[in-house]
Structures are given as structure tokens and as C-alpha cells.
Amino acid sequence: MSLQLGDTAPDFSAVTTVGPITFHEWAGTDWVILFSHPKDFTPVCTTELGYVARLKPEFQKRRVKAIGLSVDSLESHQRWASDIQETQGQALNFPLIADADRKVARLYGMIHPKHDELYTVRTVFVVDPQKKIRLTITYPQTAGRNFEEILRVVDSLQLTDRYAVATPVNWHSGEDVIIVPSLSDGDAQKRFPHGWRAQKPYLRLTPDPRGAAQAESSTAEFEFETSG
């Protein structure tokens, strides 16, 4: 059976471009984005790896570590890294797993034989500091990923782990959020002193609670409003 949300991300040892690692130990107390690439020296992957390297400051802000995987040898990865630097203007700055024997790819279900029998598809696993899988996305080999979308979901996960909220369609950090329906209006009043705007009893919008403490001005707009 494939890995599901809430499962513990399987631990493994692997050779990578930054040396041998044991996954859980390497992850430490950070969040992780583990993602697979079909093969070295392929054009879409080359653009993705350069882009992820450029996003490093965004990962660091969120305490996220990136780690890629491709089912080729370490020597091949090292040669490919020069091409990435040359064509993308950005050196690799995170580990790339050399999974030539496909051990990790099989452990994580990264090979979808009806799509390609030999090479991995573009999987993404977001793993939290407790090593639980919190997001999985699978893309076909021909479509480069949108890593801003993956960071957006990390923002949502980190926020909703701390507060009794969910994030609406196309939400970005700082925008209004939804108070979870399981919270009564009475409890919501205690937890969201800036109030909310209720479009329906189950659809209560409130300012991003991390920003709300500083943004006193927004209280005029949000009152303890209920809608029948």
C-alpha cells in the first residue's frame, strides 16, 4: 500500500551529494521536502534543481530542509551538478540522493510502473519534525513542479498546527483564515480576540492569527459576527 498522510516517513540510509546520511537523523527537528526526479541530465529536472537551490532562504525561514532523489550514481550526480550550476546560475546547496539501486524509490513508491517501469515520477513528500508525512503530491515526468505551491502548503501546515484554523482556497501567508467549524463561537471568542466575519455559521473568516496581534487596525473590520 502506498504511503499516506499521517504515516511515519520510512527511515533509510543513502549516499548523497553531501555524503552518506540516515534520513531521520539528517532531518533532525526540521521539516523536510523530499522529492524525486526521473533521471540525471534531463531538462525539466535541471530547471527544478536550480530553482529549489535558489529557494533556500525561503526554506530556512520555515525550518525546512530540501532533499532530492534521482536513480543514478553519485558520480553522475556530481557531473550533473556542474550542468545545473552552468545553466541555472545556481549551485546545488542541498543533498541529492544517489539511488542507483532504487532502494529509496521503492520504499517511498516513487516508481509508478504504468507511467514508467524504470524511472521515478515526480513525487513530493512533506515530512514534519515528528517524521509524519503531511503532504504527498505526484506529478508526471513531463511537468515541472511549482515549488511555491509546496511552500504555500508548508505555511498552511505550520499555521494550522498552531491555531484552530484552516486556510481557504489559494490562501497565502498573511491572508485571512477560516476558524475550524469544530470550535464553538464561545471558544472562538476566547481564541480570536480580533473577531471574525461569518458568511455562514461554518464559514468564519478571521485575520491570520500570527499577524493579528500586531495588526490592531484590522479589528474594525472583524467583529464577533455570526450568521444564521
Distance (Å, rounded) from C-alpha 24 to C-alpha 188?
37
Q: By the criterion CB under 6 A, which residues form the site for ligand BEZ?
A: 38-39, 42-45, 141-142
Cβ atoms 164, 183 nearer than 8 A: yes
The set of cell numbers assigned to 100 is 542507483
Residue corresponding to grid cell 491572508: 175
How far is Cα 55 from Cα 52, in angstroms, rounded to an integer?
5
In the complex, least distance from residue 59 CB atom to ligand BEZ, rounded to whole angstroms: 22
* Shortest distance in whole angstroms from residue 116 CB to ligand BEZ: 8
Is 94 part of the annotated catalytic residue set? no
**Active-site residue, from 14, 27, 33, 45:** 45
CB-wise, 49 or 126, nearer to ligand BEZ? 49
Residue 45 or residue 177: which is nearer to ligand BEZ going by CB? 45
Whole-number minimum distance, CB 37 to ligand BEZ, in Å?
7
Q: How far is the CB of 40 from ligand BEZ (least distance, A)?
A: 9
User: In this structure, are residues 140 and 45 in contact, taking their beta carbons and an 8 Å threshold?
Assistant: no
Nearest Cα to Cα of residue 107 among 66, 71, 157, 134: 71
**β-strand 203-206 against 197-200: which pairing, if any?**
antiparallel
Residues 218, 211: Cα–Cα separation, whole Å: 10
Q: Which residues are designated catalytic?
A: 45
